[in-house]
Chain A
Amino acid sequence: MKKLLIALMLVCMIFSIAGCAKEEPSPATSGKSAGISGEVNKQEAEDIKVKLYFPNNDASEMVAVEKTVKVTGTTKYKAAIEALLAGTTDKKLTNVIPKKTKLLGAEVVKDTIKLNFSKELIDDFNGGSTGEEMLVGSIVNTMTEFPEIKKVHILVEGKTVDTIKGHMDTSVPLTRMKELLK
């Protein structure tokens, strides 16, 4: 009987101490990269269809343009952005991304793609709320056409940027900008 009571008391003490112990941070959710899930293993060229988003000339809406791009030893994401940077010849649409901008890299982590652009993305851009929305929107909406991509983080020269030209907060990954589509 005594032994049982002592055991009970011990359990009680352990409980009371455990109940008080500072809450341990839950084990960090593994931040490991989903890696190059978009990498194409085959070396031979593969044609895929992508949807690229361009604003119309009066910047009242974004229009999807379908294009077939070749994916050779590169990811489909890179191929789509390269096609976006190359622009459209449609006279009703505007190439909003500054011409000299280059894509320096693309990396997928879980559902987020990090796109690293050259400095011309900001330096050669004139600004304006609408301009900024359309610039960011064309990139974000083109990428989120891939169902596995939910967010886009824009980097310039490898660094997070607070804003493109003083309006949008681009320091965080952005979700699809549906408001720009009609």
Chain B
Amino acid sequence: MKQLIWKFTLAALCMVIFLAVGTGSCQALPRNEITSFHYSTYKDGDRNWLKIEIGLDRDKLDFEVSANPDRQNQLWVLMKNTDSGDVKKDIGLDRKIARYMTFRKKNKKDLQVMVAVDKSLDEQECRVYLSPPDKKIKETRLVIEIADSKAPEPVKDEKTNLPEDEILNNVAGATIVVDAGHGGSDTGAIGPNYLKEKDVTLNIALEMCRILKGNGARVLMSRYTDVDVFGPYATDRQELQARVDVAHNDPLSDIFVSIHCNAFTSPEANGTGTYYYPHSYNDSALAQFIQSEMVQATGLRDRGISSARFYVLRNSRIPAVLVETAFISNPHEEQMLSESRCQHAMALAICRGINAYFGNRIK
């Protein structure tokens, strides 16, 4: 009997040591854990709000807010160094403002919260913040608030000022990043009659900006003038990354469209082509919609769409394309590219392709 007790004590000791070593020293970093979950709705004037409160056991939390690039109705909140605790993994919400939310492990240490809003993030307002303990609730909470609509803005109907052929029906509310290729110290390719690629790409990009904004889209431009995007004396990588960052820095960015002129050593090469990097189906779809419109509008030889290891495409987190409008190294196409009429036609064709993409994309 005595021996049996001795055995038990030893086994218990073993377990204690195992547990102490196993949990204590392995997890040196204090982690956050969700301690409570609660949601409610309230009215603010004409708008209805959904308020989600996630209680935490610590008073600090690192979090990142972004939008799912592939689904317009999904808000992502990355809670760093956090465990989900006893909270359910999938939670139904009020179904009027938001449908449901999920908690998923991400990067081993973090917790990804996804809230599926009813319509889309473009049409609904969201805010995410940390709320300190107060008299009623004694814990710090991560608060996600979602409204059923955007704050009303003074309505400006600029569409009426657009010529009929420039009216696009699917881009309103979309956020489109337009990158005028090269610029500043980088001329891009130069034609046989000294036309510079950077000047053509800027003109087309500015024209696209006018058309898209006129149709109610949000447009983010990598440059509005003849400048380097990163700044002078940058490395090539810094310069290209600065263009990618225009989209990265805005969670609402939907697509990235880079405008270029093609060039080749032989002046014979000609035609229009669109490049993409196959991150998802949407990349090639966007490329094909733009390519079809470009061919139709310009009558140029159709070089088709191609996937390519281009820096700005590979590093983009949203559907991205690079449009090679025409060959600046071909004398005939250089002449075309220099004409403002042709620059307008190309800008409009690209915008139409974008419009078709938003009308047809898989959500």
Contacts and interface: CB of A to CB of B under 8 A. Distances in A.
The answer on A and B forming one complex is: yes
Given A131-B264, A169-B310, A59 B269 contact: yes
A15 B15 CA distance: 12
A58 interface: yes
Given A6-B10, A166-B182, 5 more contacts: A12-B17, A20-B22, A130-B262, A130-B303, A167-B311
Contacts of A16: 17-18, 21-22
B222 interface: no
A166 B314 contact: no
Nearest to A122: B236
Most buried by B among A6, A15, A57: A57
Given A13-B17, A131-B189, A169-B309, A95 B265 contact: yes
Given A16-B22, A127-B189, A171-B237, A134 B13 contact: no
A155 interface: no
A133 B306 CA distance: 11
Contact of B266 (A20, A57, A127, A179): A57
Nearest to B26: A20
Contacts of B262: 128-131
15 contacts: A5-B6, A12-B18, A20-B22, A20-B25, A57-B266, A57-B268, A127-B197, A128-B264, A129-B324, A134-B265, A166-B236, A166-B239, A166-B311, A167-B322, A179-B306
A161 B240 CA distance: 13
Most buried by A among B188, B237, B266, B311: B266
A68 interface: no
Give the size range of B's interface with the partner.
35 or more
A167 B240 CA distance: 9
A74 interface: no
A174 interface: yes
Contacts of A126: 189-190, 263, 265, 329
Interface of B: 3, 6-7, 10, 13-14, 17-18, 21-22, 25-26, 181-182, 186, 188-190, 197, 235-237, 239-240, 260-266, 268-270, 273, 275, 303, 306-311, 314, 322, 324, 327-329
Contacts, number: 131
Nearest to A6: B10
B310 A167 contact: yes
Contact of B236 (A6, A15, A59, A163): A163
B235 A127 contact: no
A41 B260 CA distance: 49
Contacts of B309: 168-169, 174
Contacts of A19: 22
B263 A131 contact: yes
Nearest to A15: B18
Contacts of A5: 6-7, 10
A174 B10 CA distance: 60
A95 B25 CA distance: 64
A15 B273 CA distance: 61
